[in-house]
A and B are shown apart, each in its own frame.
Chain A
Amino acid sequence: MIQLGIQIGHLHPLFVHLPIGIIMMAFLLEVYSRFIAKKSIDEVIEFTLLIAGATAILSLGTGWLLGEESGYDEDSLFLHRWMAVSFTVTTMLLYFVKRSKITWVSKSYVPLFLIVLGLISLTGHFGGNMTHGEDYLFVEEKEELVITNIQEAQVYAQVIQPILDNKCVSCHNANKAKGGLLMSTPNEILKGGDSGSLLDTISGHEQTLFLERVHLPLENDDHMPPKGKVQLTDNEKVLLEWWIANKNCFECKVNELPTEGKLAAILTSLEQDTSALAVLAKEAVEIPKEWLQNVRAAGIPVQKLSGKNHLLAVNMASMDAITEDKLEVLEEYAPNIIEMDFGFSNFNDELMSQLKPFKNLLKLKLQHTQVTDAIADDLADFELLESLNLYGTAVTDKLVIELKKNKKLQSIYLWNTGVSTDGLAQLQTNNPGLTIQQIGADVFEATILDPPTIISDVSFFSDHLTISIESLFEGTEIYYTIDGSTPTEASLKYDTEITLQTTANVKAIAVKKEWKPSVIAERTFIKNNIAYNNVDLLTVPNEKYAGQKGKTLMDQKRGSINFVDGNWLGFEGKHLNAIVELKEQNKISKVSIGALSAPASWIFYPKAFVVSASKDGVNFKEIGRKEMGEENPNAEVKLTFFDLDVTPTDAKYVKLQIQSPLKNPAWHTDPGGKSWIFIDEVVLN
């Protein structure tokens, strides 16, 4: 029934000429009636217009159905279709205008008729273009310029002139001589245009007018070809420069002029495509659609290389039931098949012998299949073979040495096979033009192992803490230290969980054969067994960064670089002063404070801190002071603990005075602006 629609559509060419003829008839009758005024003719014209309209509808309907068939140029179809709609509608209108007795309506009759004629011409033209091709009407005698041997080619006639013809002549020809310039013949080019000669170097300028215009920026009004027109490619520019630099010789052959480096490659690219692909594409016979459908129905994915030729690629990768029968299905059009992929399938030596008919194969992929050196003889038959993938197969040197018969071979994949380094070298000697697609063994030699992970839920403890260390890889050895010294392979070897009794700076490395040892993983675990009652903040933190007030400093929770996480106390433009009241009197010998620095967020480390101790909470005595000074210019976000060993003192109250720099340093983007300090933890020992 879909087919029926299309079938009806196929009647379009039959109907389509009716409205054309009939509307023309109406027009002729109209002209005739102007000479012989007879009422009866008007009636005939009316009838003719009616029939024209009716047949137009018929044509439109069938045409619409036909247009549903794919394969038409979208743009032409669009124009043709809607022109036809306009024509049909206007013709119907014309009929009613003709019949109308109202004067102003009748007046529009002649102009409307002319519009109808215009529309039918255009509709017909676009329709014709679609059926016969765009160049059917105005046939251009185009001589196919084929360069078979570039060295013998004429520089001007075969290399330069085609460029000019394509990019310049459309505006610089006898019909349309922009700037008074013609560019179709050598004489015209030599003569130049209104701005002077094209090829003479003008005094004071470095280059000829021709190249100057070409090299102007695209936005410049004098740039050629003008913006919006198809531009010269880089290769074309190089060729033009080359020709002009060699005295714009009109008679020379390519081999009479110097051709070096890039130029040689560009020139070669102009030669007729003699690649195997191009030759096979030309030879390949058309494949019936039914055959393709049958092959696909048999479960063999085949794909046409493109809509422009009849070559096929077969992809049977990862199939586990490839049989001789399956390959036989393909044999009828074996010469069309240039690519076969059997990777990761059950393909093997026996099946290989079934590939004989596929003598045009350019690419054969046998990666991760059962094939062995036994396929060497079969391979030799593929004279055109350009690419062979044997990665992950059991083939050895024996096979690759035989490959010298495959003279066209360009690339081969032999990674993870039994082929030795000597074999590869031998292969390269035998087939000098071949690229062995392999990465040097040294490229990833220096890969560093991932650092181990030191695992513990907490960073603070009061009595002891058990931690473990893990690596992502099996067969890895981990070495560690707990005193902050650099771990080496001579350090303690990790084999079971570690129990920490005191504050420890744990560092660990992972080591594995054939890998570079990891960088050091590091974590500090702090013992803090001095219990406290209360932390009294003498200065008030900014309300946005007030955490749990004083408690924040002793809650044994570290803040993160995300300083809004609630574990930080932030002070803007002021110091932090606080008094910690301990549960009971203790001997204090070390004080650590955790701080954050993020200059880009106006946060800096404190400048200094002072620790005082008291037994009664009234009389404090300074027991230690640490000066950190001003930070050097930087923009990193970082956090650290500042440790201070104090004179061991018995205390019930400990007073901390953490001094902020108060103002941003001179090197900051906002020097002198109010700066912040952020403190997350105070540890007493």
Chain B
Amino acid sequence: MSEKKIVEERSLILNRRSFLGKAAMGVGGIGLASLLGTNLFRKGENGLYTADSGPAGVKGVLDSLHHPSKIKRVIYLFQSGGPSQLELFDYKPLLNQRRGEDLPESIRNGQRLTGMTSGQDKFPLVGSNFEFQRHGKNGTYISDLLPYTAKMVDDICIVKSMYTEAINHDPAVTFFQTGSQQPGRPSIGSWLSYGLGSENENLPAFTVLLSRGSGRPNGQPLYTRLWGNGFLHSLHQGVQFRAAKDPVLYLNDPKGTTADVKRSMLDKLAELNDQHYQESNDPEIQSRIAQYEMAYRMQTSVPDVMNTEGEPDYIYKMYGSDAKIPGTFAANCLLARRLAEKDVRFIQLYHMGWDQHDNLPGAIQKQAKDVDQASAALIADLKQRGMLEDTLVVWGGEFGRTNYSQGLLTDTTYGRDHHPRCFTMWMAGGGIKPGIVYGETDEFGYNITQNPVHVHDFQATMLHQLGIDHEKFTYKYQGRRFRLTDVEGHVIKDILS
């Protein structure tokens, strides 16, 4: 869009606004307080704030939920890189029996391959090097790599029939987070921040925590756009909390700034910004004013939430002693629980290092150890606090891994390539049936035989639990109404209690 066009579009906003809104308030009367607290800007293309959506904080655009929600918040433990379902959840003894045999073409059935194995002339089947045992009331198979998850199996719902369309990391992660393989759409957390707003006026509705896995410590990085706001207001982008002296970058005041100075600086700045808004009508300016205010409040709320010194020893015994080391997955799980207690709506964790193309048995042991106890502890902790009933915890990666070995296959080692046709995720908490396994794969662990669940189905279900009908929750942009689930997605009713 050319600069001229943008200005024209904005003046259109101005024209309508000046009739509906501005005249009512009196020119120049739109102070900060009214911006944040009143109903000046009703639901519209840029629907930032509406009145009837609960307590203070950034208000959501939805006037009321589409149906009663089961959950208030989501903790998404994203396992980046694509964990091998065959070593963790999907028990396939046939692959051990036929180890080394070529994958039958009737099973592969023309599946497209990544550039990493397309040159391979054989696809030798390989089963898990790790044993599986039955656990819980329903005798669910869980790998020995996940002893703690196994103990919590009666509280989680394992979906073995996830599938996606992407076969490479970035498109696949983007697909999960935004509903589209191409970058540019808002992330789930941004959608929720936009729709439901924040319940805590001192913290953003969408926070992000990253950790590096020990399975593949130098694996590929993640891009910040994965928690980006896309075409929504930048107010809704995810805020990354880092494991460092400044958990949120550029949040702290420069040395020598007093609270008074800061406050009056912000007030003056807001005045100037508001003046600019009167002229240009760029809605991003409203976002900016609100962000300054949020940052101001976060100066006290963030250190408060990040300071885990008060956590008793028995908490560390649950999450594992790694939780003492900032930046580990365990430490992030503990922080996730603390953020959840503060009513942060969408808490996104990313644990990297699951992309085990070679030496998988060695790497996955370390990687599983990174996450197993802390994931289980998070569920246990939330459960005992009474928070699991209104929190959805999700565990899973962007795709699965192949049932054949990539590269070297020996008695002790093998690798696995990306596999989009089936993989496993688990969910726990609010309104999800606990202790069940949903969906089945064939005995080769290559294709789904029962109850396939597409990425969009998963997203639709998550929104459903939050009280949102994924088909009605849209945002109009460039002449089209966009939704998280694009034009697809069905709520998986079978796993809802």
Contact = CB atoms under 8 A, between A and B. Distances in A.
Interface of A: 1-2, 5, 68, 70, 74, 233-235, 277, 289, 292-293, 296, 301-309, 311, 315, 317, 365, 367, 387, 389, 391, 411, 413, 415-416, 437-439, 443-444, 447-450, 472-473, 514-515, 518, 562, 599-600, 633-637, 667-669
B467 A306 contact: yes
Given A306-B467, A444-B377, A70 B42 contact: yes
A305 B68 contact: yes
Contact of A305 (B24, B65, B324): B65
A7 to B, nearest CB: 12
Nearest to B19: A5
A518 B322 CA distance: 12
Closest A-B pairs by Cβ, 7 of them = A1-B24, A301-B55, A450-B321, A307-B64, A635-B359, A415-B384, A633-B410
Interface string B380-424: 100111101100000000000000000110111101000000000
A1 B380 contact: no
Contact of A365 (B325, B386, B413): B386
A506 B262 CA distance: 52
B446 to A, nearest CB: 16
A448 B494 contact: no
Given A5-B19, A233-B493, A633-B408, A450 B68 contact: no
B408 A599 contact: yes
B494 A235 contact: yes
A437 B383 contact: yes
B368 to A, nearest CB: 14
A439 B24 contact: no
Contacts of B199: 315
B397 to A, nearest CB: 21
B384 A306 contact: no
Interface in B19-54: 19-21, 23-24, 42-43, 51-52, 54
Contacts of A308: 66-68
Nearest to B65: A306
B223 to A, nearest CB: 22
Contacts of A667: 408, 410
Contacts of A600: 358-359, 407-408
Given A449-B321, A473-B324, A634 B386 contact: no
B386 A437 contact: yes
Given A277-B68, A415-B385, 6 more contacts: A2-B24, A2-B42, A307-B66, A437-B388, A447-B318, A600-B408
18 contacts: A1-B24, A68-B20, A68-B42, A74-B472, A301-B54, A307-B65, A308-B66, A308-B67, A391-B386, A416-B384, A438-B383, A439-B380, A444-B373, A447-B320, A450-B321, A599-B408, A634-B410, A635-B407
Interface in B452-483: 467, 472, 474, 481
A683 B148 CA distance: 44
Contacts of A365: 386
B317 interface: yes
B108 to A, nearest CB: 17
B43 A70 contact: yes
Contacts of B24: 1-2
B451 interface: yes
Interface size band for B: 35 or more
A472 B321 contact: yes
A514 B63 CA distance: 51
B218 interface: yes
B276 interface: no
B229 to A, nearest CB: 22
A39 B171 CA distance: 70
Nearest to B413: A635
Nearest to B467: A306
B324 A367 contact: no
B316 interface: yes
Contacts of A315: 55, 199
A304 B64 CA distance: 7
Contact of B69 (A70, A306, A389, A514): A306
B151 interface: yes
B313 interface: yes
B362 interface: yes
Contacts of A636: 359, 362, 413
A68 B343 CA distance: 32
A296 B68 CA distance: 20
B245 to A, nearest CB: 18
Nearest to A388: B386
Given A304-B64, A444-B380, A472-B321, A391 B385 contact: yes
B50 to A, nearest CB: 8
Given A411-B389, A473-B324, A306 B412 contact: no
Given A391-B385, A411-B389, A234 B55 contact: no
A315 B69 CA distance: 15
Contacts of B151: 443
Nearest to B69: A306
B218 A562 contact: yes
B54 A443 contact: no
B380 A443 contact: yes
A438 to B, nearest CB: 6
A413 B474 contact: no
A415 B383 CA distance: 10
Contacts of A415: 384-385
A635 B408 contact: yes
A88 to B, nearest CB: 19
A636 B388 CA distance: 40
A452 B21 CA distance: 64
Q: Looking at B148, B325, B377, B408, which has the most chain A CB atoms within 10 Å of its CB?
A: B408
B384 A413 contact: yes
Q: Looking at A292, A411, A437, which has the most chain B CB atoms within 10 Å of its CB?
A: A437
Interface string B100-143: 00000000000000000000000000000000000000000000
A269 to B, nearest CB: 10
Interface in B258-314: 313
A195 B229 CA distance: 53
A668 B199 CA distance: 57
A600 B363 CA distance: 13
B64 A306 contact: yes
A56 B435 CA distance: 61
Contacts of A68: 20, 42
A447 B320 CA distance: 6
A319 to B, nearest CB: 11
Contact of B68 (A301, A309, A444, A562): A309
A68 B42 CA distance: 9
A296 to B, nearest CB: 7
A292 B20 CA distance: 25
Contacts of B325: 450, 472
B55 A296 contact: yes
A1 to B, nearest CB: 3
Contacts of A439: 380, 383-384
Contacts of B42: 2, 68, 70
Contacts of A74: 472, 474, 481
Contact of B54 (A303, A447, A633): A303
Contacts of B21: 1-2
A444 B322 contact: no
Contacts of A637: 359
Contacts of A304: 64-65
B386 A367 contact: yes
A306 B380 contact: no
Contact of A234 (B69, B474, B494): B494
A473 B317 contact: no
A442 B394 CA distance: 24
A433 to B, nearest CB: 16
A413 B494 contact: no
B380 to A, nearest CB: 4
Contacts of A518: 321
A507 to B, nearest CB: 18
A599 B55 CA distance: 59
Nearest to A366: B386
